[in-house]
Amino acid sequence: MEYNEKKIFEVKLKEMKAALTTQITEEADTAEVIETVKLRVRDAKLPDIEVVRVVWDVLMDAVQWSGKNQQQNANAALRQVFFRHFSSMPILYLHG
């Protein structure tokens, strides 16, 4: 990757992180946050792995930690993500 392309890529990631941080801080609707991610991924052609890293970093920064160890922090963050995501979905019963 050329130097200029790498710098542009880094700027796009920082812009996405800033936008998501603002939305989460302002408690924007989940659909709006998801739409922001989709638009920025499409416009900047960001790789999924980088998008996941940025979203994870923003979510981890948004959570109020209380001196817990790292594993407890990660588990608390996952609970928050799953609770927020799945609590807004209709309940589906799947039989295997």
Query: Does the pLDDT of residue 59 top 80, yes or no?
Result: yes
Higher pLDDT, 25 or 74: 25
Residue 52 C-alpha from the chain's centroid: 6
CA 58, CA 49: separation in Å to the nearest integer? 14
DSSP state of 67: S
Query: What value does the mean pLDDT take over residues 88-92?
Result: 46
CA 64, CA 38: separation in Å to the nearest integer? 26
Q: Which two tokens stand for residue 32?
A: 């709006």
Per-residue pLDDT, 6: 84
Per-residue pLDDT, 14: 92
Q: What is the pTM of this model?
A: 0.61
Q: What pLDDT digit, counting tens, does each position of 6-43 carry?
A: 888 889 999 999 998 999 888 888 888 888 888 888 88
